[in-house]
Amino acid sequence: MSYCMDARPILFTLARVLDEEGLEAVMIGNAAAALHGAPVTTLDFDFLFRKTPGNLRKLKGVAKSLGAMLLKPYYPVSDLFRIERDEDSLHVDFMSRIDGVRSLAALRSRASRIDFGGHVLLVADLADIIKSKTAAGRPRDRAVLEILEKALDEKKKAGSGEA
Amino acid sequence: MKKRKQGVAKREALRRESDRVLRDRIRRLLEKPPDERTHFLRKRVGFTASCL
């Protein structure tokens, strides 16, 4: 059983901690889609980042600032890094590659910059999220595609000025 | 034959109504600024222990 809660306090904290540690990461997945107005829910936050020794050090700093653990759950099969905090089940995934997205630079150039308490969070464009979920093709991705496409359609109709 | 046609019409009406409701929800969310579209985080509640 689950219920939906306001992610705002967590988003404020994530934006601040990423900014303070200087880790550049673009939010992807259902959380990013929800910030674009898609009525979808999620249990975690997903980010795309560049896997470099410097960024891995920063990622450790992010986990430490959050009072969380940094795990590598599917090592060596995947490049997924997971931040988990037991006290409130905070769950943040960092990936260095995802289906349907060729370059982080291109994704970042199209991303929206959403301000949370003076710290900017980079949020992938809804069209990029759709492209990624289509390429991934997992049942849970396909299940939300129709909703995301309708959200993109409504956003275009509204002529939203959001970058 | 008539029953089948009625069933198809009913399903089509239901699909149109679902689409309208979904688009209304999206429009309401789009009226808010992006930093307020934040009611999306699902939290698991209840016991997760096994009986073993």
Q: What is the mean pLDDT of chain A?
A: 93
d(CA A148, CA A39): 8
Per residue in B1-50, pLDDT tens?
788 888 999 999 999 999 999 999 999 999 999 999 999 999 877 666 66
Q: Which pTM value belongs to this model?
A: 0.90
Q: Is A90 helix (H, G, I), strand (E, B) or coil?
A: strand
Closest-CA distance, B25 to chain A, in angstroms, reads 7
Best probe of the B interface among A150, A152, A153, A160, by most B CBs < 10 A, is A150
Per residue in A18-64, pLDDT tens?
999 999 999 999 999 999 999 999 999 999 999 999 999 999 999 99
B39–A5 C-beta distance less than 8 A: yes
CB neighbour list of residue A60: distance below 8 Å, 6 or more residues apart: A70
- For position A163, what pLDDT does the model report? 45
Q: Is A9 helix (H, G, I), strand (E, B) or coil?
A: helix
CB neighbour list of residue B2: distance below 8 Å, 6 or more residues apart: none
Best probe of the A interface among B40, B47, B48, by most A CBs < 10 A, is B40
Alpha-carbon dihedral sign for residues A99, B33, A153, A111:
negative
Instruction: Tell me which chain B residue has its CA closest to the CA of residue A88.
Output: B43
B35–A8 C-beta distance less than 8 A: yes
From chain A, pick out residues whose CB is under 8 angstroms from the CB of B35. 8, 11, 35, 114-116
Extents of the domains making up chain A: 8-150
ipTM value greater than 0.85:
yes
- Fold for the domain defined by A8-150: Beta Polymerase; domain 2 (3.30.460)
Task: Sort strands A69-71 and A112-116 into parallel, antiparallel or unpaired.
Answer: unpaired
